[in-house]
A = this chain, B = another copy of it.
Amino acid sequence: MKINENFLKIQNNYLFSDIAKRVAAYAAANPGADLIRLGIGDVTRPLTPSVIDAMRSAVDDMSDIERFKGYPPEWGYDFLRSAINENDFKARGVNLKDSEIYVSDGAKSDCGNIGDIFDVCNIVALCDPVYPVYVDTNVMGGRAGEFIGERWSDIYYMPCVKENHFLPELPNKKVDLVYLCFPNNPTGMAISAAELKKWVDYANENGSVILYDAAYEAFISDGSPHSIFEIEGAKTCAIEFRSFSKTAGFTGVRCSYTIIPGELERGGVNLGALWARRQATKLNGVSYITQKGAEATFSVDGKRQGREIIEYYLNNAKIIYKGLKALGYEVYGGVNAPYIWLRTPDKLTSWEFFDLLLNKVQVVGTPGAGFGPSGEGYFRLTAFNTLENTEEAVKRIAEI
């Protein structure tokens, strides 16, 4: 019996566990310390009344023999797939079939599990800094090679730094799988249609597949594309991941969806058919109650109430962005995303700045180095705390 030895390669210092440990140690040494957490990207506002009403009613359905629902459809209820299509795509001029939308329990699951349908030998390109799940799932899947110094030997890194406006540059060689996330976690930067078109063209020319994570699209405030399928040619080269987690506060409810257009084929094989098979075999659908809640985010009231929450977080982002800028920090992101990405002051490393914020003013953020070597010298703050705490955090940072 042999284990999958790729698992042993994963670096044990998982970013958020490390942070949690340092914070716990500080809290233990300083009982009563009033910490403000602007670290992990979890939402804090309650679900909207529309969602709550829909879920209550769905729970009631499950109590009644006539309305009770057993196994959900493998790729999502028609009512949800159709509402997603109507509101998130048709309304933006993107023409999809409901059957190209696969509902699941989370974008993290889908981003991680999508690797199942691809061969181990594919070359993976990742932004640096990056959401750690893309890295770790490819390590587990055997596509990363060895960890040498700060990088995986078989992964193609695309640094996203101040000098290139935090936008990855087209690879100078052929890569097979390109993970892109816009608006970006951790940098908070959006991508323009013109920039994204370059990637679509690259992928179509090279037979690559773009794995496009649009989990933060609801935060877009300028004209940046919400979906890669707004770009001509994307249907033959892209898979898109969407989530209700950040758009509707569903981190504790678990609902997402993945788009694989019927036109997306490689080696004569439809990738949607492979994913459909993967999901039908290794998943038994998503809770009916959850899907009814997700559907309610698209009602007139649901949309308005959801929008208010996004605006609340965006206002927090603005407070951090403006506040830090006024203090002389170099600040990025925060306009199209709930993330503010800043240069650490005085050439501090990102962990040194983490310790400074924690120890001096009890504010918890995320060190940029945790997202990849090019994140060194940067730091992430999130807009998901309350308005009051966000304002207080900026005030405290001013006192450093």
Using a CB–CB distance below 8 Å, which chain A residues touch chain B? 1-5, 7-8, 10, 14, 40, 42-47, 49, 52, 55-56, 59-60, 62-65, 68-72, 105-106, 108-109, 112-113, 116-122, 133, 136-137, 140, 176-177, 207-209, 245, 251-254, 266-267, 269, 271, 274, 277-278, 280-290
Contacts and interface: CB of A to CB of B under 8 A. Distances in A.
Contacts of A52: 59-60, 62-63
Given A45-B65, A284-B254, A119 B3 contact: yes
B42 A122 contact: no
Given A116-B4, A287-B287, A46 B71 contact: no
Contact of A266 (B3, B68, B252): B3
A269 B2 CA distance: 10
Contacts of A285: 254
Contacts of A209: 1
Contacts of A274: 3-4, 7
Count the copies: 2
Contacts of A177: 1
A44 B68 contact: yes
Contacts of A72: 252, 254
Given A8-B269, A46-B62, A71 B251 contact: yes
B283 A108 contact: yes
Nearest to A280: B14
Contacts of A62: 46-47, 52, 55, 252-253
Contacts of A277: 7, 10
A140 B47 contact: no
Contact of A269 (B3, B60, B71, B253): B3
A302 to B, nearest CB: 14
A119 B8 CA distance: 12
Contact of A63 (B47, B70, B133): B47
A283 B176 contact: no
A288 to B, nearest CB: 5
A54 to B, nearest CB: 10
Contact of A252 (B14, B136, B253, B287): B287
Nearest to A47: B62
A109 B177 CA distance: 25
Given A121-B2, A269-B8, A287 B253 contact: yes
A177 B4 CA distance: 13
Contacts of A286: 254
A264 B289 CA distance: 36
28 contacts: A1-B118, A1-B266, A1-B267, A2-B121, A3-B269, A3-B274, A4-B119, A5-B119, A14-B280, A42-B70, A46-B63, A46-B64, A46-B65, A47-B68, A55-B62, A56-B59, A70-B251, A71-B251, A108-B284, A133-B282, A136-B281, A137-B281, A140-B282, A254-B284, A254-B287, A287-B290, A289-B289, A289-B290
Given A72-B252, A109-B283, A282-B112, A1 B122 contact: yes
Given A62-B47, A68-B46, A252-B72, A118 B278 contact: no
Nearest to A203: B1
Contact of A271 (B3, B106, B118, B287): B3
Contacts of A42: 70-71
